[in-house]
Amino acid sequence: MIKHLPSGAIHVNNINLWAHVGVLDSERDCGQSFLLDVTLWLDLEKAAKMDDLSSTLDYSIAINRIQQLSFQINCQTIEHFSKRILDCLEELYGDLPMKIYLRKCSAPVQGFSGDVGVEMGRHFPNN
């Protein structure tokens, strides 16, 4: 169990995704746009000091895998989609502390032009 957050974090923001997620049949049939922010906490000291790529993580792999997932998924809730993204990240990087913020860019609510988001995380130390 992790006792405290590592001193560094990698942030990947505004990953554009297209997915078939929503309560309405039309949302699941046609798909829609999502934006995703990912934060992964890890020790970055060795990579920073030695300029050593093997001492950090390759975030391009996560981006590609999440994009693949977004094309395959068909579900009703952004909560479920978020869980599947966290599962994917955990599969890639293990039990690093991680947080995602997934936003549905055009929620089908009459008179509403904003976005709707879900924030979820895993592997945080107990407070």
- Is 104 an active-site residue? yes
Rounded Cα gap, residues 53 and 93, in angstroms: 15
Looking at residue 110, the DSSP 8-state letter turns out to be: T
- Catalytic residue, chosen from 46, 83, 99, 104, is 104
Phi/psi at 126 (nearest 5 deg)? -70, 135
Phi/psi at 80 (nearest 5 deg)? -65, -45
47 neighbors 56 (Cβ within 8 angstroms): yes
Phi/psi at 86 (nearest 5 deg)? -60, -40
- Residue 44, number of CB atoms within 10 A of its CB: 16
Three-class DSSP category at 78: helix
Q: Residues with catalytic annotation?
A: 104
